[in-house]
Each structure stands twice: as structure tokens, then as C-alpha cells.
Amino acid sequence: MFGFAKRIFIFLAINLLILVTLSFTLNLLGVGAYFTARGIDYGSLMAFCLVWGMGGAFISLALSRVLAKWMMGVVVIDPATQDPALSGLVNTVHSLARAAGLPKMPEVGYYPSPEVNAFATGPTRSRALVAVSAGLLERMDRAQLEGVLGHEIAHVANGDMVTMTLVQGVINAFVMFLARVIAFFIANRGRDEDSSVSPNYLVIFLLEMALSALGMIAVAAFSRYREYRADAGGASLAGREKMIAALEALRRSSEYVDLTGKASLATLKISGRRRFSLFATHPPLEDRIERLKAAV
């Protein structure tokens, strides 16, 4: 019950922060009403959609490390820890990070879940977090773990968190823009061009839902592409055999892939739900394994 209340509080606090920040930004930019008696002010509408679409995505990115820690209960490991298992985990991450040329070592942590998974997040390559589940630490051997960590470091080195945020922000802006333009023309069919009316916001909302579904397909397709790329990066950093071994271990533990129920963080993890669809953020593990085996 406490955990649910905490998630609700975080959700409301973040949305309030986004609302206040973006409203202030629009006011600072002097963006006014975009529906006028003479039609649509496309400049104001574009500015409005870019600020809300991109701004919300980048605020979430800026807070991604903090939010992941709160929502997943990540315990950040002190690099000076005397625990040999945890020390080995930190040393492996740092070794891979140096090999990837990261400008600063990521924070390393674990979260108390029986699921077999791991994720990386953070706003920049210098402010990243790599975390693994307790279930993964229990079920994987050293070589498999190194493959998983190589994959996560590759995500950081590739700047995938920022790229995903850009993609999501652009999709958000297009959805908002198109929904309002379509709603405006629906509301003003057959009317005189000099006496236009603003569209019904329920129509805008319904159009945003429909267009967002199409946008999610594009975002998911890019997410699957970056998973293939991170597999290749992990193979380069940790060794192809270790990366394949890690993915095969994940496949054997598919029933433990996602037990946290936090869908908002699912896209960050090394493995997703097994069933493939156009909305899947991860390719099937079998396809990822075959692609690595076929790589020269």
C-alpha cells in the first residue's frame, strides 16, 4: 500500500513540475493562443507542441536516474565496498565503461526483485546508472553477467537514453500538432474562413489517443533497433560468446523477465516480454541470439 502511494505521489509531483515548468517556458517565449477567429496561428501552435512534446520528455530524462532509484528501490553500491560480490560487480562495470570510453564511471546498483533483468538510464554519458536485479545476480554466472553489463554499458556509450528521448519528444510534438489541426478542420467544415471556431477538446483528446498509438509503433521500432545495436556493442566490449551466453540465460529465465509491474521502465531493461508485437520494445531473444551468432 505504501509503495503504491509513493508511486502516485511521484507521478503527481513530476506532472506538476512539468506543468509549471512548461507553462513558464511558454509564457517566457510569448506563445499565445493558436486558435483564432481567422484560423490557426501555425507558428504559435508549433511552438506550443514543441515545448510540451519535447519539454516533458527531456524533464523526464533529466530526472531518470532519480526516478529509477525511487521506483525500483535501487541500492547504489559504494565503490569502496568490502563485499566481494558487489565489489566485483562495480569493478566489471567500471572496466567495461573504460573500454567504451565513457567520460565518467556510472553509478552501479541493484534492486530487490526476483526478476532476471538489468537496465541503464541517466541524462548523459557522464551521469548514468547501471542496475541489475537481485534475481539476475543469483541466477547468472560471471561470464553471463559480464555480457549483460556489456549490453547496458553499450546503451550508455551509444547515448540511447538521449536518442530515445528525442524520438519520443518529436513523436509527442507531431501527435499534438496533427490532433489539433485535424480537430480544427473537423470543427470548421463548411464554415466561412473568416469566422472559425475552436475545436472541441474531447475531439482533440480522442485524436491524440489514436495518433499516439501510431506513434508508439514508431518508438517501439526504434527501441528494437537500439537493442540489436546494444547487443553488438556488448559483444564488442565483453566478447561475443559472453553476450550470447547472457541472452541465452535470459531466454531460459523468460518467466522471470518482468515481475516489477512498472511498465514505464520496461523499455530500459535488457529483456522485455517474450511475445512480439508492433508495440514490443524488445526483439525476441531468439532473434537477438541468431543475429549475434551470424555476425562475422
107-111 and 129-133 beta bridge pairing:
parallel
227 is catalytic: no
Q: What is the DSSP letter of 254?
A: G
pTM: 0.87
CB atoms within 10 A of CB 108: 25
Q: Which of 107, 115, 152, 227 is catalytic?
A: 152
Mean pLDDT for the stretch of residues 55-59: 87
C-alpha to C-alpha distance for 246 and 277, rounded to whole angstroms: 23
User: Among residues 26, 36, 48, 30, which one has the least CA distance to residue 184?
Assistant: 36
Instruction: Using pLDDT thresholds of 50, 70 and 90, give the confidence band for residue 264.
Output: low
The model's pLDDT over 79-137, given as tens digits with 9 standing for 90+, comes to: 999 999 999 999 999 999 999 999 999 999 999 989 889 999 999 999 999 999 999 99
| DSSP annotation of 132 | E
Angle (CA) 162 224 233, round 5°: 70
Average of per-residue pLDDT across 207-236: 94
